[in-house]
Chains A and B, each alone.
Chain A
């Protein structure tokens, strides 16, 4: 069994693609996603959110849970949460409240977490996810609610454990889906779509490395056998913090559950839910809790906080901050700009990129050329600089001009890439920069004709290959092209070179 599992893990996509169609089971996955909201301060105190600071430096008596302290709700966090819920087509009740969820753990200073229990700030929504095979699928959202994050236990300092409470109190949006996903790929697609949405909305950086998004899938199988459907016990995989781990853990669980079913015949019953962790090194799930412990969180309304009334005015104000969502924008770029699904997907990976592109097209840029420049050079540079595209020194206006210059034959596509990079780093006007860098193409046919003549005179062998249409004719033609452009110092417009060269060579036939 272990051999099989390792095999599956090494290539989950292949396994799923091959086996899904032949194996008589369906994977059922529901997902809980925790998203850190990018507010300036924590959920219930004034501490500024920061990542990677020295332990326990971003704390105050409130988030340390000191005696006598009281929480005060961060209104912006509630607004971010509602905005996200609206993007997920959720209902937003006019009344929501805070509850205490009790459990003892050293990283939880009060030994209760302020969360939302029976009246979450949103419920009953849906998200459209793009499918690998094309098209989309609608996944139902059960609810999304706000809570405070816990701190972190640290076990690496010596023969003791320590607690870092910098993260304690970070606003955390918990999104719960219905069990509507049926493959590891769909789950990954949902996670990535959600990342794109929260980034578009600006409510979270969605940075996986910084733990801004954590996933907990609930997985089981519906196995068809002899006309009957058997449901395997549900397993919950805790605290996954990468798309890869999320996808692989589900593939692994599916195979493991199927094997287990064949061995034990065990089916889903009350209380036989198991909890697993994910071993990133061995790429396998590891059992944490055999039976779902009768976890009694003793929820009750937090008497230190007043309920939140979300009136129509406030709701409209929040709704007013809604932007075009990534999937809708992606579809628009395909239909209105003629881009491929892939290119539209890359451009809408980040709102800054998408808006940069949109602005350039509005200024008259050819969409395909603008897209190529932006995705091939812009994103690379942005990535290197660790900033969004719109933080580079290049503007949509520059991009539109560069695209126009390619279109007009003033510069080559390669030259445009060089110019993009230079302007992105140092700023400057595209035309002036092109002149300065000697990147303006020559389209003067007289000048080019002279160069072509010179090359034909010099390269008798290649000319002969073309004229006599030998096997090497095609290669020789390319070689002659290259020679002309080289002679021009790279400035001859390739279109015109090709034209003149063809005329001359054809005349020699």
Chain B
């Protein structure tokens, strides 16, 4: 089965002429035809364009021309990444018919690496959510249990990858939006260091937190995709210049274990997770210690404040980032509007969903005069303290290991009426965004109902190479990542 191959395996076979990209692309579309009605991972599919592109790459290979790192590999991208073809909806009614006139930086990179883009995946509206239930356009189900959420906000990318409806995907992560759905769906997801990947063309949610990253079935595939998308981009002032942080070869060193690995653990953090999650994480730590790693108990005194700080900073930035969706220049405009103020108020009222409105209100409040110091400024201070926690942690340990999420995937509708419960689901992932450090989620077991559990590994800024090697040490010893969903 072609769709059982990893992206790396598929790429090598296509480049080597064993299979064609057209065959692989067709196979994925057959899989999509079969499963998409159940899963609902995609907001748009580019069947004809993808097959045509696959054919072009096959002809390049047939002519013996050099091909890119993702030659002919069918991938999916989250629908908050701009593409000059098709719509870029962000899962929102307000942008349902929006067509970007340009590609996001990462889309250009994927195309330059000869990837084939199958379609664009569902997400919580403007990436705000932890279950993809906040999508204004469609519901996505977890391939491991279709009664459960795929996590979010990159739920579509994680579900499509887990269900083998694409070889790999891109997501974006502002507070855990790659790692948490990867954990819920039993795949690998990486949030790179802030500044590692250009945000140009990623529709902003929380600009100081957003990063684009891979969602794949293996650590190796994550390394492969990161290699393609990482690097400086002069269109994003926050992307880090090459001379300050050169992009290493992530795949070359991947199989080399980290000697004398020191793993930081924060006992009180892990204690907050469900028993099954705790057990799985403990078992994972044992796999490492069996390979000679040493555990270092750490304190992260400010970690508990991460959620509070995050929901002030992210919503403050979002309230400003989303101000441009006003019905004036593009996107949805209310047909009811009688004057320009109503163009704003009605278009936004009708175009945005409840969670987006809630976060805009929160952020607007936090930035208002009289409240700025008490909320926004204080949150920035907390953010600095959390950064300090991570900096000190990485003086004592090479990485930090903790759960991705306190629970496994919850039932659809279970938390939709309780936003605060939903926010708490991000407790383990949010601090990583506030600190700007890289974090990866890898499958580390299943609970009693056969739902996947994720192990989160976090490392110092711009140490993705080490982080991937550490993740690979575990993957080599286990086969959780090979357990396909039964669909």
**A→B interface (CB under 8 Å):** 61, 64-73, 100, 102, 104, 106, 109-112, 161, 163, 296, 298-300, 303-306
Contact = CB atoms under 8 A, between A and B. Distances in A.
B368 interface: yes
Nearest to A161: B340
B330 interface: yes
Given A70-B237, A161-B340, A65 B324 contact: yes
B329 A65 contact: yes
Contacts, number: 94
Nearest to B327: A106
A120 to B, nearest CB: 18
B82 interface: yes
Interface stretch (B33-41, B46-54, B100-108, B296-304): B100-108
Contacts of A102: 320, 323, 367
Contacts of B208: 303
Contact of A296 (B81, B326, B340, B369): B369
A231 to B, nearest CB: 25
Contact of A300 (B90, B199, B316): B316
B235 A303 contact: no
Given A71-B237, A102-B320, A300 B104 contact: no
Nearest to B377: A300
Given A104-B344, A163-B328, A306-B237, A68 B200 contact: yes
For the complex of A and B, the 10 pairs showing the least CB-CB separation, nearest first, are A111-B323, A303-B208, A303-B207, A298-B367, A67-B203, A68-B201, A68-B82, A110-B324, A68-B203, A65-B324
B88 interface: yes
A68 B202 contact: yes
B438 to A, nearest CB: 19
Contact of B323 (A64, A69, A70, A110): A110
A304 B237 contact: yes
Nearest to B199: A70
A67 B329 contact: no
B137 to A, nearest CB: 16
- Chain B interface SS verdict (over half): loop
B204 interface: yes
Nearest to B202: A68
Contact of B100 (A66, A163, A303): A66
A72 B329 contact: no
A430 B471 CA distance: 85
Contacts of A67: 82, 88, 90, 95, 98, 100, 203-204, 324-325
Given A298-B367, A304-B237, A112 B200 contact: no
Nearest to A107: B328
Given A71-B237, A104-B344, A300 B203 contact: no
Contacts of A64: 329
Contacts of B325: 67
A99 to B, nearest CB: 10
B221 to A, nearest CB: 25
A163 B199 contact: no
Interface of B: 80-82, 88, 90, 95, 98, 100-102, 104, 199-204, 206-208, 234-238, 316-317, 319-320, 323-326, 328-330, 340, 344, 364, 367-369, 372, 376
Nearest to B207: A303
Given A106-B340, A298-B368, A73 B323 contact: no
A111 B326 contact: yes
B320 A298 contact: yes
Contacts of A303: 206-208, 238, 317
B131 to A, nearest CB: 23
A186 to B, nearest CB: 33
B344 A70 contact: no
A106 B102 contact: no
Given A102-B320, A106-B328, A163-B328, A69 B200 contact: yes
A111 B324 contact: yes
Given A68-B201, A109-B329, A110-B324, 11 more contacts: A64-B329, A65-B329, A66-B330, A67-B82, A67-B98, A67-B204, A68-B202, A69-B200, A102-B367, A161-B340, A304-B204
Contacts of B235: 70, 72
Nearest to A165: B329
Given A68-B82, A106-B340, A305 B237 contact: yes
Nearest to A305: B237
A80 B27 CA distance: 58
Contact of A70 (B200, B329, B330): B200
B368 A296 contact: yes
Contacts of B236: 70
A68 B237 contact: no
A66 B201 CA distance: 9
7 contacts: A67-B324, A106-B340, A111-B326, A163-B329, A300-B367, A303-B207, A305-B237
A340 B201 CA distance: 61
B195 to A, nearest CB: 10
A299 B373 CA distance: 12
A65 B201 CA distance: 12
A303 B368 CA distance: 17
Contacts of A104: 323, 326, 344
Given A106-B340, A300-B376, A68 B329 contact: no
Which of B101, B234, B237: most chain A CB closer than 10 A?
Answer: B237
A271 to B, nearest CB: 14
A68 B100 contact: yes
Contacts of A109: 324, 329
A298 B320 CA distance: 9
A106 B364 CA distance: 20
A296 B370 CA distance: 10
Contacts of B100: 61, 66-68
Given A67-B88, A68-B201, A296-B369, A306 B238 contact: yes
Which of A70, A100, A112: most chain B CB closer than 10 A?
Answer: A70
Contact of A304 (B80, B238, B328): B238
Contact of A73 (B81, B237, B317): B237
A166 to B, nearest CB: 14
A112 B340 contact: no
A112 B104 contact: no
A64 B330 CA distance: 10
A100 B367 CA distance: 11
Nearest to A111: B323
A68 B81 CA distance: 8
Contacts of A106: 328, 340
Contacts of A73: 237
Nearest to B325: A67
Contacts of B200: 68-70
Contacts of B326: 104, 111
B237 A112 contact: no
Contacts of A69: 200-201
Given A67-B203, A68-B82, A69-B200, A100 B320 contact: yes
A498 to B, nearest CB: 74
A104 B204 CA distance: 19
A163 B376 CA distance: 33
Given A67-B324, A71-B237, A112-B320, A304 B207 contact: yes
A338 to B, nearest CB: 54
A298 B368 CA distance: 5
A77 to B, nearest CB: 14
Which of B202, B326, B344, B368: most chain A CB closer than 10 A?
Answer: B326
Contacts of A72: 234-235, 237
Contacts of A111: 323-324, 326
Nearest to B369: A296
B357 to A, nearest CB: 16
A72 B239 CA distance: 11
A236 B224 CA distance: 60
Given A65-B329, A68-B201, A71-B237, A112 B323 contact: yes
B207 A68 contact: no
Contacts of A65: 324, 329
A66 to B, nearest CB: 7
A155 to B, nearest CB: 11
